[in-house]
Amino acid sequence: MPKKSVAEIIVDTLQAAGVKRVFGVVGDSLNGITDTIRTREGMEFIAVRHEEGGAFAAGAEAHLTGDLAVCAGSCGPGNTHLINGLFDCHRSRVPVLALAAQIPSVEIGTGYFQETHPERIFRECSHFCELISTPEQAVRTIESAVAAALGQRGVAVVVLPGDVAYLETDAPDVRLPTLGRRSTASPAEADIRQAAALLNAGDKVAILAGIGCAGAHAELLLAAEALKAPVVQSLRGKEFVEPNNPYAVGLTGLLGMPAGYHALMDADTILMLGTDFPYRQFFPEDARVVQVDTRPEHIGRRTRVEIGLVGDVTETLRSLLPHLTPREDSTHLEEAQQRHRDDRAHLAELATGEAGDTSLHPQHVARLLDELAAENAIFTCDVGTPTIWAARYLSMNGQRRLIGSFVHGSMANAVSQAYGAALVEPGRQVIAMCGDGGLAMLLSELLTIRQHKIPVKIIVFNNSALSFVELEMKAAGLLDYGTALDNPNFGAVAEAAGLKGYRVQDPGQLESVLREALAHDGPALVDAVVKRQELSMPPSIDRKQAQGFGLYAVKALMNGRGSELLELAKTNLFR
């Protein structure tokens, strides 16, 4: 049996799993890995400027392909920088393997320079997190890590001391016995019949559909037709549920609109499909609920569920459909569809601007992006108001993709996810919808884009504030504090970084600037100066929120900030 170094065994295994790139920052404790990658055909090391960006990029690759993606960090600070991006990957359930280099093995436990214990630190954001302390562990550890990341859909971490990477051991042929194999679970027939009886008995049925509906589009439409049920989507389900779906009535929750909100709240029966939608206040209290999920621990943890079916959404719907009694009464569906048409008309009214104005309505920017982007564009969006505008204005058509930090809710994800997506889909248009706070937090990644000449398009919603946080403060009756951002001209910053930069604030110039930026042959950034006081209204405002906003208004007047209220009214009411 041939002998190879631990680094060679790891890289061999990753290549056998189909890995083509590793995102990270080089360091001496990673030298064994990076030097092995240097010599390999079909694999490259993508040098990023911040490891957190590398983890976000790997997550975007895994999201698009469903295959294993890899990031790496050198010992101590190098790999702890990965942790936020890895939390996002793990909570988004995308298969990512992280190589966390470690200090020399003989120094572990002595408080050595840059010492941490990654096998403890990363435990919470991984399915698998183990240290290779001797070369004989290498084969089993890396093969188990790959299997865990792919099989459990999440993060696996391999901790590797720099000196151990060079040690040799027996190297059998790589075996990944579960690679490319897929199994599906389907509930028992008796449970299917019981669920069908409950759904057939409902008068007003609604479907809440999430990312678990990927691959189940045809079955979802058949179920909606049989039950005459409006389909409300979660944000993560948008790219899979919305396309070519006449039953889709939008989102509920804080990012949603009235149609989706009322479709659920007015229902007496709900079918939840592949979603862990977390906001309990957007579920009706007395509805009867059937929930389908592959993970039993998710069933019933957001709302009271009467029947839980543990299984794949596609297979479960296929079993369920023959037992559904097609209904004639479509009143609930038609009311939701009409509300949805009203919502779309209202959103269109808000997505305009007058030439000569000194700033833009962010809805106008989002609407034009939707209209001008390619039919197969990949969008990424930062947490905060860019996610709101993406949720409300981007049209999913079955070809477009949408990636964000929708579960972990991290700032600064969009740029790194965009270049990760662009590397795995060369030639495809990739657009990052960024907040000014999110862009600034990992501004370093503009240099990653420059270095690798990645042709992403970055649209910055620049309102000089952490605006979603300001909205939360207003709703809580607080004066905004600590949210102001003294921003540079991001277009000029982009030019200095080697990207094509634009700055636009006149609505009359917006379309031409966006067209030019999207058509640019290379990376480009548009600094879109948008109105700070734009309100993104939730589908329903409760008494506490209304009282809080009223209290904020009184405080603003009493603290000499009445101009804020005037600007708020001009931006949102006098249109």
113 is catalytic: yes
Q: Which position among 231, 383, 526, 529 bears the catalytic label?
A: 383
- What is the phi-psi region of residue 329: left when phi exceeds 0, alpha when psi lies from -120 to 50, beta otherwise? beta
> What's at 476, amino acid-wise?
A
Per-position DSSP letters for 490-510, written without gaps between them: HHHHHHHHTSEEEEE--HHHH
Q: What is the SS3 assignment for 286?
A: coil
C-alpha count within 13 angstroms, C-beta hemisphere, residue 406: 29
Q: Which position among 8, 51, 219, 470 bears the catalytic label?
A: 51
468 is catalytic: yes
87 is catalytic: no
Q: Which position among 282, 461, 468, 490 bears the catalytic label?
A: 468
Cβ-based neighbours of 384, under 8 Å, separated by 6 or more: 411, 435, 437, 438, 466, 467, 468, 469
- Whole-angstrom distance, CA of residue 148 vs CA of residue 156: 7
b/e 296-316 (16+ beta carbons within 10 angstroms → b): eebbeebbebebbbbbbbbbb
- Whole-angstrom distance, CA of residue 296 vs CA of residue 293: 7
Residue 74 structure tokens: 């050198």
Q: What is the SS3 assignment for 530?
A: strand
**Cβ-defined contacts of 358-361 (< 8 Å, 24+):** 358/505, 358/506, 358/529, 359/505, 359/529, 359/530, 359/531, 360/504, 360/505, 360/507, 360/510, 360/528, 360/529, 360/530, 360/531, 361/507, 361/530, 361/531, 361/534, 361/571
Per-position DSSP letters for 304-343, written without gaps between them: --SEEEES-HHHHHHHHGGG----S--HHHHHHHHHHHHH
Per-position DSSP letters for 169-226, written without gaps between them: EE-PPP--TTTT--------HHHHHHHHHHHHH-SSEEEEE-GGGTT-HHHHHHHHHH
The CA-based angle 4-5-9, given to 5 degrees, is 75
Please give the backbone phi and psi of residue 539, each rounded to the nearest 5 degrees, phi first. -70, -20
Q: Which position among 26, 44, 114, 315 bears the catalytic label?
A: 114
- Whole-angstrom distance, CA of residue 77 vs CA of residue 81: 6
Strands 96-102 and 457-462 turn out to be: unpaired
Q: Which position among 113, 136, 451, 547 bears the catalytic label?
A: 113
51 is catalytic: yes
Q: Give catalytic residue positions.
A: 51, 113-114, 383, 468
